[in-house]
Amino acid sequence: MDGSILFLAMPQVSQALTPTADQALWILDSYGFAVGSLLIAFGSIGDRYGRLRLLMAGAALFGLASAGAAFSSTPELLIAFRVLMGIAGATLLPSALAVLSELFPEPRRRARAIGIFAAAFAAGFAVGPVVGGLLLERFWWGSVFLVNLPVIALFLLFAPVLLGEVRAARPGRVDALSVATSAAGLLFTVYGLKHLAADGIVALPVGAVGGGAALLVCFAARQRRLVHPLIDFTLFRDRVFTIAIITGLLPLAAWSAAAYLTGIYLQSVLALDVLHAALLGLPGAAVLTVTSVVVPRIVDRVGKRAVLVTGHFAIAAGLLALLATTATGTATGTGTGTATGGIGGIGWYVASTAVAGIGYGISFAVVADTAVGAVPAERAGAAGAIAETSNEIGNALGIALLGSLAALVFRLQGPDLAPTLDETLRLPGLGTAVAADAKAAFVTGLHIVAITASALHAILGATALRWLPKGDPGGTPEAAADAGGGRAEAGA
């Protein structure tokens, strides 16, 4: 939930802290990059020192960092606390899955438990903006972080009693240099791409992209020489595994970018209040959650190939529905741009989230099991860890890259008075015509992002249709149950 709760809060955060366009993106995606960069490393640390111990430490840090974020007085402080929250979050997912596997050793019950866990994970992503909207209607923007504290308190109280300790028999050594090069490579690359979108081609961002790419190449080369690599790149020789991992990354990228941009669209373009905007996300959230629950049963009948292909085309179709939205809210371009004049825009937004929600739910439900089922049993842990990492990296990349694409379009098409729509609309003495031009430029950026993400999903869907075997790539129901157990060991 915390990964998505900020989307609708960003206009209020922008008003209170006045971050730059670059800082606003980092407030959103620094959490995801911290999680994605450290997820596999903390899986190995949990193997060595104990998963429950790591869960307890990570949960405590998550709570403290959430409280710090809630009371941040500057954009820099908020970004720093978001990074701390991401570091803590990286301890939670692989260790939680491992402990869950220990609680349910029988394969079929374990697979069912993992399915429930995945549905809860998907629901958290979906309802985050809704919970945020309900809080923001009554409290200040920092309340979206304080919602974490009761959950953390209950966990710290009951986890030592209800959960058992889990350690691997032969934990691998954590390679600190691999952790550093992967994290630095991602950060430098995305930093450079963001500034290229905002400032054009200048020396600093070009150098950052080049340096980040070089670090990532060094990281990949080092993994091939390590006995215990953070990412086992040889797994990508399998086409089914590769499709599964990309399916884990791309839908999260599309979802996070769309959620971020449509949150601004509903509030800053259509002038809806935050609670109204949040409630409009409920249909899509319901579709996503229900799909995550029912898809594992459908897979047993039609196979994962058909389900994965359907998921990509559903996301592509849902994103294309956003092309009917306009700066005035109606499909014909008429209306007031207010809550009463934005019925057309609202309708297309709800339709988009509902259709795309089917594809997002499919991605959450089957990606990890498909990846694990594509590799030998002794490599299931590494496959599951990569699958979970692809989700977190996708969530961050969507905001960083697709968000930067929208920022580039706004810079080129807008009135060029400020780098973001919210900053432009806050300028004193802004004329009605200039405000309309700024809103139109933002909507153009939203449309280009929707087209780009939709095209990528259509291409991946066609590739999956061609590459994946017609038989179920996950194997038999028994194999799927075993794959669920492999997923629970993600991070090993």
Q: Tell me, yes or no, whether 363 and 442 share the same domain.
A: yes
pTM: 0.75
Residue 487: which of 108, 35, 111 has the closest Cα?
111
Q: Tell me, yes or no, whether 184 and 102 share the same domain.
A: no
Helices and strands: H and E segment counts in the chain: 19, 0
CA–CA distance, 161 with 365 (Å, rounded to integer): 29
Q: Tell me, yes or no, whether 24 and 168 share the same domain.
A: yes
Residue 359 carries which side chain, given as an amino acid letter?
G
**2 inside domain:** no
Q: What's the number of domains the chain is made of?
A: 2
CA–CA distance, 406 with 443 (Å, rounded to integer): 9
**3 inside domain:** no
DSSP classification of residue 79: H
Distance in angstroms between the alpha carbons of the first and the last residue of the chain: 25
Q: Tell me, yes or no, whether 147 and 179 share the same domain.
A: no
Q: Tell me, yes or no, whether 417 and 474 share the same domain.
A: yes
Q: Is 79 exposed, middle or buried (0-12, 13-18, 19+ CB in 10 A)?
A: buried
How would you classify residue 469: left for phi > 0, otherwise alpha for psi between -120 and 50, otherwise beta? beta
CA–CA distance, 312 with 314 (Å, rounded to integer): 5
Angle made by CA atoms 147, 252, 215, in degrees to the nearest 5 = 105
Quote the domain boundaries for residue 185.
Answer: 175-227
**106 inside domain:** yes
The CATH number that applies at residue 107 is 1.20.1250.20
Q: Tell me, yes or no, whether 133 and 186 share the same domain.
A: no
Q: Where are the beta strands (DSSP E) in 327-394?
A: none
For each of the chain's 492 residues, which pLDDT tens digit applies? 776 677 777 888 888 898 887 788 788 878 877 776 776 677 667 666 777 888 889 999 999 999 999 999 999 999 999 999 988 988 877 677 667 767 776 756 766 676 677 777 767 766 777 777 788 878 888 888 888 899 899 999 998 888 766 555 445 677 888 888 887 887 788 778 777 766 667 888 899 889 999 998 999 899 888 887 877 788 888 888 888 889 888 998 898 899 889 988 998 899 887 778 878 888 888 888 888 778 877 877 887 888 889 999 999 999 999 999 988 754 444 333 444 444 568 899 999 999 999 998 888 777 766 776 676 655 665 676 677 777 777 876 787 788 889 988 998 898 988 878 888 988 888 888 999 999 999 999 999 999 999 999 999 999 988 888 775 544 433 443 443 333 333 333
CA–CA distance, 443 with 437 (Å, rounded to integer): 10
| Structure token pair of residue 46 | 């949990």
**5 inside domain:** no
